[in-house]
Amino acid sequence: MYLPFPIETYRQRIARLRVLMDDAGIEGLVVTQPDAIFWLCGFDTIGYLWPQALIIDIGESDPRLVTRTTEGPSAHASSWISDLHLYDIAKETPAERIAAGVADRGLSRAVLGIDMGAFTLVPSVWTALREALPEATFVDAGLLIADARLTKEPAELAYQRQAAAIADYAMATVQDAIEPGMSEGELAGVASLALGEAGSEYAAIPPMVVSGERTALVHALAGHRSVARGDLVCVELAGVVARYHAVVMRTFSVGPMSPRVAEVSDCLSEAMLAAIESAVPGTRAPVPDARCNAVLERLDLVRRRCHRIGYSLGIAYPPGWLEPMTLVEGDDHVLAPGMSFTIEPNLSLADEGFGLKLGETVACVESGSERWSKLEPRTVEV
């Protein structure tokens, strides 16, 4: 059995979670998100296409893991859970097996917490689960585990620092490889190979590479376009260690950049550093965004912002790597030592034919804020 942490660490997380459940009046928890399940028991699989659940009651018994028979070997190899219930997708309905696992724990009439926003809770499963447990009261517990994960343990941060070093290596490798005539897909391949060479696990989002006018497309993946002299190339990628992610984003210029790009680049670099410097203990979540915008406003670039400035980052599986805390107005979180998040004030100037990506993973520490990337914080490298 391989676990990233000692079993006692997982038991402590379960114990902390039970205190939160008790405070919220929740008698049982049905956890379906793969990142939350991994955090609680170590179960590591890409097989969450089929419904699975970790069932936690308010008592002292170990959690129960319900998953399909195909995932049985992975569950034994990667988790500490001994109460394992497997179902055959050719013969059984997943939601009914999950409901049976809940009922076996005496929770069929209980207040059950479930993440209503989970991408794993598709309408058909949600409907079948409620039909199978008609006397249960379901409440949204989506933030219960997410908030418990926000402040990370030193061992978790150590994994992320390793991931950040891997991401830096891959980004530097891509920078060295860029030549006119290379396609975006080739450069994405260079990034993927470099990540593998440095020991990264697969990321929740593959490397993003766009060039030329496509740099204004913030979330586009690599296409067939070939890079030409005079182009900008935006790259975003993540290193991953023990499923903990660290992201880095940079923009490169194939040859000298225009005066306009240089002007915007310098302003964006200053804005990103201002945001990072403000991300210290006791700071409200929206403050880095405001500090960034104060700099960008000098060139009327705030309206070019096309993305939140950052979000909490940690364990992730496809299709995404965002944790719930976002550094935007309206988020009530307060930054504290042990939190890790991105700072990424990306710009899209589509009417001018370009966009700029600049971002990396930052930690809030006792002494202030800590950049994990060792790359220069300039927006555009020539």
Main-chain phi, psi angles of 361, to 5 degrees: -95, 135
Domains of the chain (ranges; CATH) run: 7-149 (3.40.350.10), 151-381 (3.90.230.10)
Whole-angstrom Cα distance, residue 164 to residue 344?
Answer: 15
Entry pTM: 0.96
Cβ partners under 8 Å of residue 8, min gap 6: none
Residue 349 in 3-state DSSP? strand
Per-residue pLDDT tens, the chain, 382 aa: give them: 789 999 999 999 999 999 999 999 999 999 999 999 999 999 999 999 999 999 999 988 899 999 999 999 999 999 999 999 999 999 999 999 999 999 999 999 999 999 999 999 999 999 999 999 999 999 999 899 999 999 999 999 999 999 999 999 999 999 999 999 999 999 999 999 999 999 999 999 999 999 999 999 989 999 999 999 999 999 999 999 999 999 999 999 999 999 999 999 999 999 999 999 999 999 999 999 999 999 999 999 999 998 899 999 999 999 999 998 999 999 999 999 999 999 999 999 999 999 999 999 999 999 999 999 999 877 787 7
Q: Phi/psi class of residue 91: alpha, beta or left (left: φ > 0; alpha: ψ in -120 to 50)?
A: alpha
Q: How far apart are CA 97 and CA 92, in angstroms?
A: 8
